[in-house]
Structure 1
Amino acid sequence: MHIWVDADACPGVIKDILFRAAERTGLPLTLVANQYLRVPGLPNIRMTQVPSGFDEADKYIAANVQAGDLVITADIPLAAEVVARDAHALSPKGELYGKENIRELLDLRNFMDTLRSTGVDTGGPAPFSAADRQNFANRLDRVLRSQKRL
């Protein structure tokens, strides 16, 4: 399993959790962003900088993800592509995307996007919380433990 991070919008506390998990497990971890990010100096952790532009990190991850990999992203279209490739996708808030829920989430995302484009104020995502951090850590731990058994 390779862990990929859509790192442009990923909260720092989530990156820290991922750094510790990669150090503990030895799994390869790649942060993908359109700006340089510092990462720990461990051989299994790296940072890939992509060109600036809309969805460049998403495109890079989608082109490189393999079945069984784990992608950390809040981007529903990227999660849908990852799930279609038999990889795992996990949001920074701890929501695991899978074949059983990705279609509904993608439809909801597209509906909200349509509403916003017509001028409807749909609000925005709730602020990142300590509960979100804990949900992410717990779900990541379960995904990594289940991978060890395979």
Structure 2
Amino acid sequence: MRILVDADACPVKEEIYKVAFRHAVPVEIVSNQHLRIPAHPLLTRTVVGASFDAADDHIAEQAGPDAVVVTADILLADRCLKAGATVIAPTGKPFTLAGIGAAVATRAIMADLRAGMGDNIGGPAPFAKADRSRFLSALDEALVRGKRAGR
């Protein structure tokens, strides 16, 4: 098992480290810019190029049945699910093969609405303490399931 993190805007990096250390699971922090991470043998940092999808492309290439991917990016989640990875949003919401099609479609509709109406339609709810708690539980459960499955 390993954890791949779409890290540039990830609000739960500290929580990821906490759970990863408890389970002794390696974590790869992937970003477009240099991010500070704790010095720990389970943590690696990968800084990709500044091109638009460089971090997403790297994560999607590394994703597989042994990976838990943390991202809020629906299109990246879709790519990683198709590669066999477990994918969790920073809010703790798991992405699934059964629901990703609807999420991609909703994303496209919202993009069209924003293009026509501007930012007047709002966005996602602010990140809350309950999201952080839900994420901790979801990541812990995903790692336990993966270990039970022999990953």
The interval holding the TM-score normalised by the smaller chain is over 0.9
- Counterpart AA for 2:102: E
Runs of 4+ with deviation above 6 angstroms: none
Q: Distance in 1 between matches of 2:135 and 2:62?
A: 23
**Aligned mates of 2:63, 2:147 — CA distance in 1:** 19
Give 1:109's aligned residue. 107
Deviates more, 1:19-28 or 1:104-113: 19-28
The structural deviation recorded for 1:24 is 1.5
C-alpha displacement at 1:41, in angstroms?
Answer: 1.5
Which residue does 2:136 correspond to in 1? Answer: 137
- Higher RCO by CA contacts (8 Å cutoff, separation 6 or greater): 2
Structure 1 residue 67: deviation in Å? 2.1
Aligned residue in 2 for 1:2: 2
How many residues in Structure 1 have an aligned counterpart in Structure 2? Answer: 148
Amino acid of the structure 2 residue aligned with 1:124: G
CA distance in 2, matches of 1:38, 1:101: 34
CA distance in 2, matches of 1:16, 1:6: 13
TM-score by length of 1: 0.93
Q: What does residue range 90-105 of structure 1 map to in structure 2 within 5 Å?
A: 90-105=88-103
Identity of aligned residues (%): 39
- Are the aligned partners of 1:82 and 1:89 in contact in 2 as well (CA < 8 Å)? yes
Normalised to the residue count of structure 2, the TM-score between the two structures is 0.93
Q: Which runs of 5+ in 2 are unaligned?
A: none
**C-alpha separation in 2, matches of 1:124 and 1:55:** 22
**How far is 1:149 from its partner?**
1.2
Structure 1: which amino acid aligns with 2:137?
N
Deviation at residue 89 of structure 1 after TM alignment: 0.7
The alpha carbon displacement at 1:69 in A equals 0.8
Unaligned runs of 5+ in 1: none
